[in-house]
Amino acid sequence: MDAYQIIKKPLHTEKSVTDRDKQRAYHFEVDERANKIQIKQAIERFFNVKVLKVRTTNKRGKPRRTRYGPLKIHTWKKAIVTLVEGNTIDLGY
C-alpha cells in the first residue's frame, strides 16, 4: 500500500488537542487496511519524526436519520501516534 494512501487526515478534537499537549500523541484518520507498522513508517516519512508507539482503533459507523430516510455513517480507523521526547508535528493549528 502506498504511504500517501495510508494517512487520510489529522483529527482536531478536544481530546486530540489534550493528548498532543500532554503526551505528544497525535490522532489521525487512516486507511482501514493499514497496520501499525505501515502507519509508523508513513508518519516517520512525511513528518521526519521518530515514532515511539502507535495505537489503533476501529470506529464503527452509526445510523443517522435524514429527511430523505435512514443513512449510515462510514466505518473508519483511527491511529494515535506517540512521538519520542523532543519531536513535534506542526499541523498548522
Position 43 scores a pLDDT of 96
**Number of folded domains that form the chain:** 1
Contact present, 62 and 72 (Cβ < 8 Å) = yes
Q: How far apart are CA 74 and CA 86, in angstroms?
A: 36
What cell does 24 get? 505528544
Cell numbers describing residue 40: 509508523
Domain assignment of residue 88, yes or no: no
- Give this prediction's pTM: 0.88
* Residue 89 within any structural domain of the chain: no
Residue range 50-69, pLDDT digits in tens = 999 999 999 999 999 999 99
Is the four-CA dihedral 50, 78, 8, 5 of positive or negative sign? positive
Side-chain half-sphere CA neighbours of 88 within 13 A: 10
Query: What pLDDT, on the 0 to 100 scale, is given for residue 1?
Result: 83
Q: Which domain, by its residues, includes 14?
A: 3-83
pLDDT digit string (tens) for 8-54?
999 999 999 999 999 999 999 999 999 999 999 999 999 999 999 99
Alpha helices (H) along the chain: 3-6, 14-23, 36-47
User: What is the CATH number for 30?
Assistant: 3.30.70.330
In a domain, 93, yes or no: no
What is the reported pLDDT for 7? Answer: 96
Is the residue at 8 inside a domain?
yes
